[in-house]
A and B are shown apart, each in its own frame.
Chain A
Amino acid sequence: MTLTRRAFLRTVGPGAPSPAMITARGREALEGEFGVVETALIPPPDMDEIRISSNENPLGPGASAIQSIKDNVSYSNKYPMNSPITDTAIRTRLATHYDGAKTENIVIAPGSGEVLRNCVRAFCGPSRPLVTGELSYGSPVSTAELFDLPVKKVPNQADLGLDLDKMAGAAIGAGLVFLCNPNNPTGTAHSKRAITDFVRFVAKESPFTYILLDEAYHEYVTAANYETGADLALRYRNVLLGRTFSKAYGMAGLRMGYAVATKETAAKIRAYKLTFGANVLGLASVSGSLDDPDHLKQEVVRNTAVRDYTIDFFRSNGYWVTDAQTNFIFVKTGMTAKAFRDGCAKHKVMVGRDFPPYEKEYARISIGTMDEMKRATEVFREVLGISATDAGSGSN
């Protein structure tokens, strides 16, 4: 434990609420996206909050991307189609990453969130429900509810992975299946073989059902049997791939994502696109990032090492953790997500929100830097009541 933190824990008692801090975080903005925001303590000026609640990349997008933003800032007055790096140019460039793809197969969005929303809007209807995992990324469900569209939630498997067999059954007659792979908030990933079988089954048994394969965390996966489903999106009219620059690319704040699909299917979601959605500096940053593929590789290596460290901390202390392939993990803490979150927040460590129906015993923890996770695991130890003997060798 650092000296600063010791001093902090001594001087500030638990539970002191801080309206100032809530305001600083933009409470309503947070609530809109993540549900109710918990109170926290006033941060001492010499100590930074560790934000491991939103699956962000703590390091940002890398030098090449930042340079590209700087080079293009003077084009802030141009609409994206008139800036030096147009959205069409980025689409063309992204198409080269996928065998057989052309510019027309890529739809740019201000974050992949728009792809998710527009798939629900384009493919679901009053008699064509959205099918999703019970414990999966919630945004498509929110969209369906906003537009009064029916939702079928399929319970997760025992290992908390999506239950592809049951989802395939539920897919018959559905408008859209949301298949988050790796899955948020569990971090679990399915093999290419399993995804391919799923797509083939649905295409055959329910040809009017679309499948959105959300690969937001694709870059972070280390499981050997995992591969992207991009080829499926280009081959099957009813499959779309969603990707984002918010995670491994470190651009959550710049709002850039995209979809890959056949020309006809891409046109269906493009109809719902916000006009000029992607901003010129986001486009510039993507361009800079694509110039530096090594940076992405380093980020994946970094995340994997910190993820291994964090998973090892929990497992060595007797806690069950999902097979997380992402920049977050999902842990059975044995206490409510709220109690764990509030406990951590008192020590300036912000972890994930409730994920019903698993909020009674599980917490989602994003992977920060190694330094941050070393501090965070000390806090976890305290909150969970793990005896503070030697780090790594304690038992529950």
Chain B
Amino acid sequence: MSQSRRNFMKTMGVGAAGAYAATLISTRKQESIAFAAETGIPVDEVINLANNENPMGPGQPVLDTVIESLGTHGETPGRYPFMKAGPLDDAIAAKWNVKKENVLVGAGSTQILVNATQTYTSNSHALVGSLPTYEECFGYAATVGHKTKAVPLTSDYKMDLDHTFYACKGAGMLFYCNPNNPVASLVDPAEGAEFIKRVLKMNKDLRILVDEAYIDYVTTPGHKTMMKEALEDPRIIVARTFSKAYGMAGLRVGYAIAHEDTIKELAKYNMGNSISVLTYAAATAALARDAKDPSFITNESQRNTEARSFTRKWFHDHGYKDTDAQANFMFVDVKMPVEDFQAACRAEGLRVGRPFPPLWTHCRISIGTMDEMQRAVKIFDKVLSAAKAQAA
């Protein structure tokens, strides 16, 4: 465990981290500002390993469908998206063999996360999650003044199920991001299943929002989606996104799978349609392709696994410790302040993840193409060697 994290854990017990959310949010806003300052750099010349994007995109047939959906004279975008929503709901329902009443589409899974936080937490019923984890729910809870409890990860950077269990007493919702962003770790499948049963038995009013944004990249045997549990128990919600393996981060679409009653509660806060007609076309086309040929996602997962293994091996070979990455990013202790590492990489035209406090020497590195990762490790070599030389 790094020194800074030790200090952090000493000063902040479970539950004391509510105020900490504010720090996370401001860090996040700074990221956008930093990117904005770089608008002068052509996007194509920079290797971006900072935002867990899929470098391959959604595939040419999907992009072709988007263009076709503009209409003969480009008239389609003039119309509101009302008529496009039904077909996507149906396609998602068909893919998972559920009813369309079990589906809620949002402008990115972001919207699902926000709706769930709004619906199931309050100033007396806390949002519980790991520290660190994906900040959307914590950021929203802070904005609306809902109570939060952040539970530091275990010393091997996994979700701390025991402490999370206690934090869930009297809580409104547990944000269960698995694999967890930014640390890329996965809860042991058997332990996770047992934990969910146990915690829901302890707190009968608790909701669990299972964020499966990165599930297509998991390689741990035995890991399964929580959709089956979600359909049976209205207290469990599964969030999915088209931003990762489906390669559509810029199109903003995701969805929830849950019990019909839960979907109705979440839908109340969807508040107007923020999804583009072109996005509906892309997502619907991608699922139609899946239905005929499921190899797109398995191929993408395989591609990512190879590039991820290559990058992780490079770090292992050079004496750096990382987590057992189960996503399209990895999390490695670069043994130097991550802000310095980030800045040095940036100077070489390589973007890596921002700091995720309180883990000040760990870097989140998204997995690009194999070619990008081969170029990236050369930059890592240069940056880390220089840091070592300076320290010596």
| Interface residue ranges, A against B (CB under 8 Å) | 23-30, 32-33, 51, 54, 56-63, 65-66, 69-70, 73-84, 86, 88-89, 110-111, 113-114, 117, 139, 142-143, 146, 246, 250-255, 271-272, 274-282, 285
Interface residues of B in 42-82 (CB under 8 A from A): 43, 48, 51, 53-58, 63, 66-67, 70-71, 73-82
A-B CB contact pairs (8 Å), 28 listed: A28-B86, A29-B86, A56-B79, A59-B75, A60-B75, A65-B77, A69-B67, A69-B70, A69-B278, A74-B57, A76-B251, A77-B53, A77-B248, A78-B53, A78-B249, A79-B249, A81-B35, A86-B35, A86-B39, A146-B269, A252-B81, A253-B81, A271-B143, A274-B111, A275-B108, A275-B110, A275-B136, A281-B66
Interchain CB contact (< 8 A) of A280 among B73, B250, B269: B250
Q: In whole angstroms, what is the CA distance A190 to B7 when docked? A: 61
Q: Which chain A residues border B218 with CB–CB below 8 Å?
A: none
Closest B residue to A275 using CB positions = B110
**Which one of A111, A252, A272 lies within 8 Å of B272 (CB-CB)?**
A111
Q: How far is the CA of A58 from the CA of B74 in the complex (A)?
A: 10
Q: Are B250 and A114 in contact (CB under 8 A)?
A: no
Chain A CB within 10 A, most for which of B32, B81, B272: B272
Query: With A28-B86, A274-B107 in contact, do A88 and B78 touch (Cβ < 8 Å)?
Result: no
Given contacts A253-B277, A276-B252, 13 further A-B contacts (CB under 8 A): A59-B78, A65-B74, A76-B58, A76-B247, A77-B54, A77-B55, A79-B53, A79-B250, A88-B36, A111-B274, A246-B80, A276-B110, A281-B276
What is the chain A residue whose CB lies nearest that of B135? Answer: A275
Between A60, A80, A89, A277, the greatest number of chain B beta carbons within 10 A of the residue's beta carbon is seen for A60
Partner of A58, one of B48, B75, B114: B75
The answer to whether A60 and B77 touch across the interface, beta carbons within 8 angstroms, is yes
Residues of A within 8 Å of B86, CB to CB, are: 23, 26-29
Tell me, yes or no, whether B389 is within 8 Å of chain A by CB: no
Chain B residue contacts of A25, Cβ below 8 A? 82-83
For residue B93, CB closer than 8 A to chain A, the reply is no
Once the chains are docked, how many angstroms separate the CA of A224 from the CA of B75?
31
- CA gap between A276 and B275 in the complex, in Å: 12
Closest to B50 in A: A82
A280-B251 in contact (CB<8A): yes
A77 to B43, CA, bound (A): 13
- Chain B residues, Cβ within 8 Å of A84: 43
Quick one: given A78-B250, A279-B279, are A70 and B271 in contact (CB under 8 Å)?
no
- Chain B neighbourhood of A253, CB < 8 A: 76-81, 84, 276-278
| B273 proximal to A (CB < 8 A) | yes
For A59, the chain B residues whose CB sits under 8 A away are 73, 75, 78
| Residues of chain B with a CB closer than 8 A to A82's CB | 35, 43, 48, 51, 53
Q: Which residue of chain B lies nearest to A23 when distances are taken between CB atoms in the complex?
A: B86
> Using Cβ atoms and an 8 Å threshold, which residues of chain A touch B70?
60, 66, 69-70
Complex CA–CA separation, A82 to B55 (angstroms): 12
For A282, what are the chain B residues with a Cβ–Cβ distance below 8 Å?
Answer: 276
Q: Which residues of A contact B83 (CB under 8 A)?
A: 24-26, 29
Contact with A along B97-124 (1 / 0, CB 8 A): 0000000000110110010000000000
A79 in contact with B277 (CB, 8 Å) = no
Q: Complex: how many Å from CA A242 to CA B80?
A: 18
Residues of B near A63 (CB, < 8 A) are: 74
Shortest distance between the CB of A282 and any CB in chain B (Å): 6
User: Does B282 lie at the interface of the complex (its beta carbon under 8 Å from any beta carbon of A)?
Assistant: yes
- Are A33 and B273 also in contact (CB < 8 A) when A26-B83, A66-B70, A79-B51 are? yes
Is A60's CB under 8 angstroms from B251's CB? no
Q: Are A60 and B71 in contact (CB under 8 A)?
A: yes
Q: State how many angstroms separate the Cβ of A218 from the closest Cβ of chain B.
A: 17
Question: A379 CB to closest chain B CB, in angstroms?
Answer: 20
Judge if B85 is at the interface, Cβ distance under 8 Å: yes
State the 3 A-B residue pairs at the shortest beta-carbon distance, nearest first.
A280-B250, A253-B277, A66-B74
Instruction: Contact check, B79 vs A279: say whether CB atoms are below 8 A apart.
Output: no
Q: Note all chain A residues with C-beta closer than 8 A to B78.
A: 56-61, 250-253
Residues of A within 8 A of B85 (CB): 26, 28-29
Q: Which residues from A are CB-within-8-Å of B204?
A: none
A76 touches B250 (CB 8 A): yes
Known: A28-B86, A69-B70, A117-B271. A274 touches B114 (CB 8 A): yes
Residues B271 and A73 in contact, CB atoms below 8 Å apart? no
B268 within 8 A of A: yes
Tell me how far the C-beta of A278 lies from the nearest C-beta in chain B, rounded to whole angstroms. Answer: 8
Q: Which residues of A contact B67 (CB under 8 A)?
A: 69-70, 73
| Residues A56 and B57 in contact, CB atoms below 8 Å apart | no
Q: Across the interface, do A254 and B77 meet the contact criterion of CB distance under 8 Å?
A: yes
Bound-state Cα–Cα, A29 to B107, Å: 15
Enumerate chain A residues within 8 angstroms of B250, measured Cβ to Cβ.
75-80, 83, 279-281
Nearest B residue (CB) for A253: B277
The chain A residue sitting closest to B28, CB to CB, is A275
